């Protein structure tokens, strides 16, 4: 059976992804489903049958509380066995799950919660206190405290719809198209928006993960990102959650992560680029290898190639690091393995071609369309740009969100329908396709610097300067009026530099830039000890903040020299 056939079979049999847990509990009742680290050591563990029973216990609580299908329910519970059980319970009950990253800040958090219009709020004691203290969603009617003791006694009411494990004939399409969750974007390039997920989207994502990477029941995942961790039990893969602050992966203790990986002999790892960098450095320093891993997935932002190389060196010869490309609104879209990245495309990346993010997954269609800051007509889909030409990336797939909840303007801006009625999503990234069908990403559309002589794209330009051994990373920003911006290179050095060394480094960087036609117009260099980054992956650079900082340092008007949109 071909991978694409397996995926279609899973999609056809999956109407509500939460029912996958019930199926795994029947097939592998005594296998480990979740293991969540405790602060003082040890793990809380549940088998698939135990996780299913705990989810059913929460279904009873949900129904007795008065939550009905279609209700929006906020879930503010840290990684724990009940985070897993409640997520599956809410999805199976027909509620619309609302998940917001608490690391985005109190003001943004409150705004996102209000925008989701929840009827119910499930949270730990700290979350309930914060809701009262900061006045979050006062219109909420139903509140449920979640404690480490699990669901209060009682299962689903007799005759509950949640006891069903299938759908009536003809009901599958309606179920697949029903809203399942509102997941907020990271807000790294503007206000966080709530992407509406349907049950069919979740099913398509599970199918894509199983098909593309060959994930098998009985595997174990070191789950460092809570949202991805939820896919584990649905795939029959145990989720092992180490002790760490998931909102600050760059601060995680690599020794504790490796200890958890060794203890449970994990075969899979999902890690942000910041965590890949930390784990790779740790393995080099300690002379460690990670022989049990069959694969690692790293997403959230383009990974540093040197850090990817260090981490990949710790893996078994048969394993590699995969860097799937996507966004909250559509994922996974494309993927590439570390061997191809390091052996075939690295040289071109370092010359300024952009970062190769691989080929589209089965069932995903990619097109490159002309760059426009505002809304575009669907007709752009009929005339995509040829291979080798940079434009905006648009995507169509079963795992693409149909809309933003409560944001009709954003939906109109980002969603298109072609002549056949298929949904397309504007990724907000710019890139190009090569003659092998591989996608090369060149940065965010709104981050391009619009200056005299043409647009400068961030990733290709920064690659020229990132080759310098004293540079950890760079960020290109624009200050001044639109279309006539002054390009400014912000530099995060690998170590503290004295004034003399900084002056010399400026000259060396400008010399590097002068050697490439894309970077000759960059004549201003500023140093900053560390860049502001997103809270979700600790990898996406907040270039808007850097542009304001650069303008203040230079004593000029910040303007809007970066792309609009």
For residue range 304-313, what is the model confidence (pLDDT) as tens digits? 899 999 999 9
User: Mean pLDDT for the chain?
Assistant: 91
Q: Which of 9-13, 219-223, 369-373 has the lowest mean pLDDT?
A: 9-13
Parallel, antiparallel, or unpaired for β 72-76 and 454-456? unpaired
What is the number of H-type helices and E-type strands within the chain?
19, 26
pLDDT of residue 538: 63
Task: Return d(Cα 565, Cα 559) in angstroms, integer.
Answer: 15
What average pLDDT does the segment 362-374 reach?
96
- Summarize the confidence of residues 274-285 as an average pLDDT: 94
Query: What span, in angstroms and rounded, lies between the C-alpha atoms of 40 and 33?
Result: 22
pLDDT in tens, 407-453: 999 999 999 999 999 999 999 999 999 999 999 999 999 999 999 88
- What is the C-alpha to C-alpha distance for residues 458 and 355, in angstroms, rounded to an integer? 11
What domains can be seen in the chain, in order of their start residue? 1-158+174-209 (3.40.50.980), 448-554 (3.30.300.30)
Please tell me the distance from the alpha carbon of residue 114 to that of residue 121, in angstroms, as a whole number: 12
- Asked whether the predicted pLDDT for residue 231 surpasses 50, the reply is yes
For residue 536, the model assigns a pLDDT of 60
- Residue 78's pLDDT is 92
Confidence class of residue 156 from pLDDT cuts 50, 70 and 90? low
Q: For residue 105, name the pLDDT band (cuts at 50, 70, 90).
A: confident
b/e code 164-203 from CB counts within 10 Å (16+ = b): eeeeeeeebeebbebbbbbbbbbbbbeebbbbbbbbbbbb
pLDDT in tens, 256-265: 999 999 999 9
């Amino acid at each position: 059976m071909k991978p694409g056939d397996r995926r279609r079979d899973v999609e056809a049999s999956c109407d509500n992804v939460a029912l996958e847990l019930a199926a795994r509990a029947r097939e592998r009742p005594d296998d480990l489903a979740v293991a969540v680290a405790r602060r003082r050591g040890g793990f809380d563990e549940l088998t698939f049958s135990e996780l299913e029973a705990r989810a059913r216990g929460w279904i009873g609580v949900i129904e007795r509380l008065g939550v009905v299908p279609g209700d929006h329910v906020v879930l503010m519970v840290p990684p724990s066995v009940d985070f897993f059980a409640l997520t599956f319970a809410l999805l199976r009950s027909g509620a619309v799950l609302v998940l917001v990253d608490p690391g985005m800040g109190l003001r943004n958090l409150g705004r996102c919660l209000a925008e989701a219009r929840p009827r119910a709020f499930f949270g730990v004691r700290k979350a309930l206190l914060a809701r009262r203290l900061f006045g979050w969603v006062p219109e909420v009617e139903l509140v449920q405290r979640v404690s480490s003791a699990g669901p209060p006694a009682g299962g689903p009411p007799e005759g509950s719809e949640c006891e069903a494990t299938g759908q009536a004939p003809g009901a599958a399409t309606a179920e697949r198209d029903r809203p399942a969750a509102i997941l907020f974007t990271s807000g790294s390039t503007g206000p966080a928006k709530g992407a509406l997920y349907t049950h069919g989207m979740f099913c398509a994502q599970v199918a894509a993960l199983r098909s593309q990477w060959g994930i098998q029941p009985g595997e174990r995942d070191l789950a460092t990102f809570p949202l991805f961790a939820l896919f584990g039990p649905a795939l029959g893969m145990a989720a092992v959650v180490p002790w760490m602050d998931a909102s600050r992966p760059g601060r995680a203790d690599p020794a504790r992560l490796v200890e958890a990986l060794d203890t449970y002999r994990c075969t899979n790892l999902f890690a942000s680029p910041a965590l890949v960098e930390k784990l790779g450095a740790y393995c080099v320093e300690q002379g460690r290898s990670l022989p049990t891993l069959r694969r690692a997935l790293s997403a959230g932002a383009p990974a540093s190639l040197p850090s990817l190389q260090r981490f990949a060196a710790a893996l078994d010869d048969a394993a590699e690091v995969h860097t799937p490309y996507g966004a909250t609104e559509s994922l996974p879209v494309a993927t590439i393995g570390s061997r191809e990245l390091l052996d075939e495309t690295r040289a071109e990346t370092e010359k300024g071609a952009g970062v190769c993010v691989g080929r589209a997954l089965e069932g995903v269609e990619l097109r490159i369309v002309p760059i426009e800051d505002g809304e575009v007509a669907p007709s752009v889909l009929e005339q995509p740009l040829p291979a080798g030409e940079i434009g905006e990336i648009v995507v169509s797939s079963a795992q693409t969100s149909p809309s933003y909840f409560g944001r009709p303007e954003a939906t109109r801006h980002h969603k298109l329908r072609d002549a056949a009625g298929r949904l397309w999503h504007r990724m907000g990234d710019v890139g190009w396709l090569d003659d092998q069908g591989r996608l090369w990403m060149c940065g965010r559309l709104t981050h391009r610097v619009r200056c005299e002589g043409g647009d400068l794209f961030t990733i290709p330009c920064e690659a020229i300067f990132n080759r310098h051994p004293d540079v950890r990373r760079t960020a290109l920003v624009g200050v001044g009026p639109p279309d006539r911006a002054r390009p400014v290179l912000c530099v995060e050095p690998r170590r503290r530099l004295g004034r003399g060394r900084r002056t010399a480094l400026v000259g060396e960087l400008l010399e590097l830039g002068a050697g490439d036609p894309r970077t000759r117009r960059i004549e201003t260099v500023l140093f900053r000890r560390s860049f502001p980054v997103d809270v979700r992956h600790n990898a996406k650079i907040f270039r808007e903040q850097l542009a304001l900082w650069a303008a203040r340092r230079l004593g000029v008007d910040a303007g809007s020299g970066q792309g609009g949109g």
